[in-house]
Copies of this chain bind each other. A is one copy, B any other.
């Protein structure tokens, strides 16, 4: 493989809006280039109807997989267990997908947040990045990306919140937040 076709590791982190949406836009671009894309969700409840329907429309080469079952209402110990189970399930799926070498781009949505929250181990994520086939683009999103993840990445953007409508008392809007 020459340097012209090199799979990259990308990280979208920071406290501002645009991390998952940037990954989705990139997935859309890659899909348009005839690439096969997989989006895996590490935090349950993050995706809404809009992106799922669009992914469905783009068809079999644009897969979005949600882990676990249903919305987690319990925010206590039971809720944490369910979140951890979903994130671990996503990690297993991610390993399988990376090794299959069937995808051109894999997006690990909110994986940084999952690490930060203790739902998956940082060491497992670093192993996953290091085991990436050379041609695969791997995209990791979520706030508080670990320094070790940043070190391994080729491209890192910090989405910094300058202004957010919630601060002005404006509730979540259809088409923007969901």
Residues facing B in A51-97 (CB within 8 A) are 51-55, 57-58
State A25–B178 Cα separation when bound (angstroms).
12
Tell me the minimal C-beta distance from A177 to chain B in angstroms. 9
For chain A, which range describes its interface: under 10, 10 to 19, 20 to 34, or 35 or more residues? 35 or more
- B6, B18, B58, B104: the one contacting A22 at CB < 8 Å is B18
State A62–B169 Cα separation when bound (angstroms).
30
- Say whether A17 faces chain B, with CB atoms less than 8 Å apart: yes
State A29–B102 Cα separation when bound (angstroms).
26
Among A13, A22, A165, chain B packs the most CB atoms within 10 A around the CB of A22
Residues of B contacting A105 in the complex (Cβ-Cβ under 8 angstroms): 175
A residues neighboring B (CB under 8 Å): 3-8, 10-14, 16-33, 35, 48-55, 57-58, 104-105, 137, 150, 153-165, 168-171, 173-176, 178
A163 near B150 (CB under 8 angstroms)? yes
B50 near A54 (CB under 8 angstroms)? no
Residues of B contacting A137 in the complex (Cβ-Cβ under 8 angstroms): 173, 175-176
A175 near B50 (CB under 8 angstroms)? no
Check A24/B18 contact, CB under 8 A, given A170-B154, A175-B104: no
B16 near A157 (CB under 8 angstroms)? yes
State A2–B104 Cα separation when bound (angstroms).
44
Tell me the minimal C-beta distance from A92 to chain B in angstroms. 25
